[in-house]
Amino acid sequence: MDCSLSNGAKYRESSDGYRKLFYEQVIGRFDRPRLPANPRARKSYEAEKWIGYEVVLDVFPDVIAYGILFVPKNLPAGERRPVVVCQHGLEGRPQHVIGEEGFTYYKAFAAKLADRGFVTFAPQNLYIFEDRFRTLQRKANPLSKTLFSIIVPQHQQITDWLKTLAFVDSQRIAFYGLSYGGKTAMRVPPLVDNYCLSICSGDFNDWVWKNASSRSPYSYTFSREYEIFEFDLGGTFNYSDMAALIAPRPFMVERGHFDQVAPDERVASEFAKVRHLYQARLKIGDRSAIEWFSGPHTINHQGTFDFLERHLDWPKKAAPRQ
């Protein structure tokens, strides 16, 4: 990518053309206005430190965005909190990121972040019901569209709505997703400016190799996920390039050594390109990170929680004395 590296703002501006290319030529963009959000909500969950509301928003005719909003109790009047959007993976539900169901993978990370005082939101993404969503992908492809052609506007609507809430800091909305949610972490934040940082868990990879290899057991060539391939990705954007579309916003990878999505060396090689951009070229190395942990395909919520607290300035740090 040929972009200005003199500072973060100039880099962001000079890379806008690549985001446009990514959206229109790889992801696929529906050139139609979104409907008014028309939010509907009901209280559905309650814990010691937070209340959970199921929320439905309109996006396009016959297309909605659904998720669960977790609001810390006893918020001081006028205080605006950071938000973490917590994204499930393949065949997941928002409910899987808050409790015992799905705990093996998700460790209830949306609820744990709400326990720490964050506002959190767990959206429902389209990759559910096996061949039903894969059929939707196949119908979209002849129109030069993909699942993310719908998911991106859904997240735009979600984050635009979150910004209207009196207790939300509109400048501190973060994304954190596992597995297919990690795929979302690479594809949605580059195109939704409302996200101030992104964390990819259990998915970061040498994506071109994983899609194209006819020899590696890690390759999608040998999996049932036939919907995964994206137009001309091999000639355009690997995962380090998608991370470059997120820059100069903070970006982090969460990687279990025994996660079978890829071998460590492939993840490390691809992330080294991200680190080089942030540290060596843009001089903002503190905004990029990778956590290696001895575990499988799961949320680890150690280094990532620290990363969120640091870059979302939560708990709010006291101003230094003059």
Report d(CA 159, CA 191) in Å as an integer: 12
| Of the candidates 128, 222, 217, the residue with the CA atom closest to the CA atom of residue 180 | 128
Residue 131: the pLDDT is: 87
> Is the separation of the CB atoms in 302 and 162 below 8 Å?
no
Report d(CA 263, CA 209) in Å as an integer: 12
What's the CATH number for 8-311? 3.40.50.1820
Residue 178: the pLDDT is: 98
Q: Which residues, other chains included, contact 223 with Cβ-Cβ below 8 Å and sequence gap of 6+?
A: none
Q: Which residues, other chains included, contact 56 with Cβ-Cβ below 8 Å and sequence gap of 6+?
A: 39, 40, 41, 64, 65, 66
Token pair for 265: 């060396």
For the entire predicted model, the pTM comes to: 0.94
Residues of the chain below pLDDT 50: 318-322
Residue 292: the pLDDT is: 98
> What is residue 321's DSSP assignment?
P
> Is the separation of the CB atoms in 275 and 285 below 8 Å?
yes
Report d(CA 193, CA 77) in Å as an integer: 27
Q: Where are the domains of the chain?
A: 8-311
E strands, the chain, in order: 40-46, 50-60, 63-72, 81-87, 119-123, 168-178, 197-201, 251-256, 288-293
Residue 1: the pLDDT is: 56
| Of the candidates 208, 212, 292, the residue with the CA atom closest to the CA atom of residue 252 | 292
Report d(CA 249, CA 194) in Å as an integer: 11
